[in-house]
Structure 1
């Protein structure tokens, strides 16, 4: 590993810029690649089209969760398969069906779809189909699609839905479209995001990650690492996303945004009549900390994780007199080292290239106008 000199503002990035680029580059490697994104979209669109033609034109399939929000992080599992959540919405009233009937209705159609793909000799169909607690899972190389059967929630129109859960008697409420709209509004507090999208018209919007999207990916990545051996107590990603979205104030620098968000996140965790509550901003009746009231150890686990991450960020913020190696070493004590190694190597090479250009400029071999000003590279998806 190449040892670099301590950070000096005169000849290199600030500490905040360095940390932002290291974290940004790391989570970029965990993001879904453009090719896999396109493949996943093609697959679920085909499923939706098939259901519309063979079941009913009223069947609709659309993404929800991290795939819709642009906050996907590759799971730290042996297969490393991306988990993509989809809603299969059927326009039925809840009095005309039960959760079991709806779940099986969608399942039967997916079974028929998979059989049709096989009978046609298509090699791009799902390699597996499995019934799970709330969904049907279609398996593909590198990812799987979790299809959640749903019906409209007449009391929360236009986007509210009711979801099935074989372990619960009551229908589960959701509003993934409304939540995505709220999250997009929070993301667009960043002026740099709007500037990036305006200046790169030929790049799809989902290629360009906002500071808030990257921030959420950092939180999810650290949480996955921290709870690698205790997944039962790992906070749900929707809770992290909601708290981050509420706390974000439009900062452009990733590290600065992360520290500021961590400083105020606890203020958005409420307690009413002894019950912990973080409401869904798109559906106030849904509580993302309902399990804390049933399993207090999950709240304690969240607080322990939160304290560890906050302490890590505070320690990093005081490393102004340290070099890149020391900063990298401190990061690897809290985050999975693999993605950081990739980001570190790329950043170190960039710094060496900049130093070389500066030395050449000083000897007159290369002018400063040829080298040009150093700019933070655009962050593209994948």
Structure 2
């Protein structure tokens, strides 16, 4: 049993960390998703023309995955299929179809071999091809080099836009790792053209902050997914605003205090540039759909209010803190975190925290609330 009592910030940090740990992808499903990524990547690298390269991007690469909130929701793992072509030697349509043909051949081969672990579906989306598996899907993003932004800039296909879109997932991931103060080198024996999916046995405070922001955002926009701020925007603003805090709740407060200061206005246009590619604007849709900017600020005001109220609960005790948390976050992950925390504090199964922060058998535990499920959106922004 602990002889000391945690401060409010410590309590909140452990409760939030425990909840997002519950929301993180399970090791078994993570391993299955990575295995499918590696197999698809190896097929593309071996059956495409010489020089094809495959690497991950998005929340799997960044270590900021959050569990989908609907029973039918799926995790996604994003991979880039990079072809060594000049943009003048092909078109967006031809490039996307070329990659799609190989994915079709892969799916057919799995079926012909009688394998039951192949993709159940293969569908074209705005910028990528999506292979569906039970519990998750792979988004395969066709890309070519961006000669103007070497060595890692890429040009992307987009069925709704005439011009090639541009990005730099490798540069962005490097930037985010630097902001997280994490750098992990994974050695691999697989196909040399298929880059590994990074593993994160311990999440950094910044990674946890991003997961908390994404989680709250999913809840806020459960009924309005079209206006939900993209995960890449939240990740970028949090990455800029993070200043190295080790305590999670302190990091959340600091990020919220500073993140909107990194939203720019350039010649009348709202702008949050990709820190690895200045020409990619993560708020481009705000200029076309002003309601999306208003929705972002409504979400930001709501989570800021939540965090401010939590910060003012010194001495209120664990049940009161729990009740305030579940007004803004899902009950079940918070309850599991609460129970873990109480156990760590040495609580017996019939005990709960009293108002003083000390264990008391006379105080009722947290009440069960009706659970609602909420969806998820992650980069790429299809």
Report the TM-score, using the length of structure 1 for normalisation: 0.84
String of CA shifts for 1:42-92, please: whole Å, max 9, x gaps: 211111211222222322221101110000111223313101111111111
Q: Output one character per residue of 1:137-196: Cα deviation in whole Å (capped at 9) or x when no partner.
A: 1111211000011111111111111111111111110100000000000000xxxx78xx
2:69 corresponds to 1:76: yes
1:29 counterpart residue number: 22
**Which residue is 2:306 aligned to?**
312
SS at match of 1:139: strand
The structure that has the greater radius of gyration is 1
Name the count of aligned residue pairs.
335
Q: Is 1:289 paired with 2:280?
A: no
Single out whichever of 207-216 and 347-356 deviates more from structure 2. 347-356
The answer for the alignment partner of 1:369 in structure 2 is none
Cα shift readout 1:284-315 (whole Å, capped 9, x = no counterpart): 11111111111111111111110110111011
Report the equivalent of 2:361.
Answer: none
Which position in structure 1 is the counterpart of 2:248?
Answer: 254
* 1:41 alignment partner, one of 34, 42, 47: 34
Which of 263, 271, 276 is 1:269 aligned to? 263
In 2, Cα distance between the equivalents of 1:21 and 1:80? 27
Deviation at 1:324, TM superposition (A): 0.6
Distance (Å, rounded) in 2 between the aligned partners of 1:142 and 1:155 = 38
Partner of 1:209: 203
Q: CA RMSD in A?
A: 1.8
What is the aligned counterpart of 1:299 among 289, 293, 297?
293
TM-score scaled to structure 2, two decimals? 0.84
Report the Cα offset of residue 35 of structure 1.
Answer: 2.0
Counterpart position of 2:98: 105
DSSP-derived class of the 1:80 partner:
coil
Q: 3-state SS of the aligned residue for 2:200?
A: helix
Q: Which is worse superposed, 39-48 or 318-327?
A: 39-48
The partner residue of 1:114 within 107, 115, 139 is 107
Structure 2 match to 1:141: 134
Q: Does 1:127 align with 2:120?
A: yes
Asked if 1:279 is matched to 2:268, the reply is: no
Shift of 1:128: 1.4
Report if the CA contact (8 A) 1:83-1:143 is conserved. yes
Give distance in 1, aligned partners of 2:68 and 2:15.
Answer: 20
How far did 1:354 drift? 9.2
Partner in structure 1 of residue 143 of structure 2 = 150
Q: Which residue of 2 aligns with 1:244?
A: 238
The aligned residue for residue 88 of structure 1 is 81
- Match of residue 232 from structure 1: 226
> Structure 1 regions of 5+ residues with no counterpart?
1-8, 195-203, 357-382
Q: Per-residue deviation at 1:247?
A: 0.5
* Aligned twin of 1:338: 332
Q: Which structure shows the higher helix fraction?
A: 1
Tell me which stretches of 4 or more aligned residues in structure 1 moved more than 6 Å. Answer: none
Query: 2: distance between equivalents of 1:205 and 1:42?
Result: 13
Residue of structure 2 in register with 1:179 after alignment: 172
Question: 1:206 is paired with a residue of what secondary structure?
Answer: coil
Q: Alignment partner of 1:107: what SS?
A: helix
Unaligned 5+ segments in structure 2 are 184-197, 351-382
